[in-house]
Amino acid sequence: MQYIKADEALWASSMLPEGILERWFIASGDAVRAGDRIAEVRVEDALHEIVSPAAGRATIVATANAVIEPGSILATLES
């Protein structure tokens, strides 16, 4: 199992310690490919796409509109 996390680099130029998981582009249980756009995170006023690091079946852990921190687990990925 692999974890899909909010990359800490998204906060590199931010003054805020948290962000918002704006929305999912997939549903829990969907098969995804490496590089697929799966979610969108807002840090301050900037939107950032989260892409799948590998192929597999995604299970969503964090809900849409959840407050997240750098390194937060957003989903798991089973190959």
Per-residue pLDDT of the chain (79 residues; tens, 9 = 90+): 999 999 999 898 878 889 999 999 999 999 999 999 999 999 998 999 999 999 999 999 999 999 999 999 999 999 8
Tokens representing residue 28 in the block: 């829990």
Give the bridge partners for 78, in sequence order.
Answer: 57
Angle at 1 between CA 70 and CA 75, to 5 degrees: 40
pTM above 0.85, yes or no: yes
The tally of domains found in the chain comes to 1
Q: Classify the C-alpha dihedral 51-7-26-57 as positive or negative.
A: positive
User: In this structure, what CATH number is given to the domain that contains residue 44?
Assistant: 2.40.50.100
β-pair partners for 3: 76
Q: Is 8 helix (H, G, I), strand (E, B) or coil?
A: helix
Asked if 61 and 75 count as a contact pair (C-beta separation under 8 A), the reply is yes
Q: Which domain holds residue 37?
A: 2-78
